[in-house]
Amino acid sequence: MQEACWYEHIYVVQKPTKRGGQKGSDVKLHIDYKGKGILEGKEIYRQNSKELVEAIEIAYKYAYERFILNS
């Protein structure tokens, strides 16, 4: 799914919640659809956490189903 999303220029991007980008800071996920930054997440995740990895996988699955299968 990730590779199909990447091929279609759909990316799940981590955005820091605090300015300065300190190591280990919290992040929110955003779905970037062909450079338009279309969906912004509301959940906050700890960088490099298991929950973040799982959330990224779920976000790619959502993006695949919404933007690729329904196009």
pLDDT in tens, 1-29: 999 999 999 999 999 887 665 666 899 99
What is the DSSP code string of 9-55? TEEEEEEESSTT--TT-EEEEEEEETTS--EE----EETT-HHHHHH
What kind and span of H or E run contains 70? Answer: none
Structure tokens that stand for 63 in this block: 């993006």
Residue 63 identity: A
Euclidean distance between CA atoms 71 and 67, whole angstroms? 6
- pTM for the full predicted model: 0.86
Q: Where are the chain's structural domains?
A: 2-69
Angstrom distance (rounded) from CA 69 to CA 63: 9
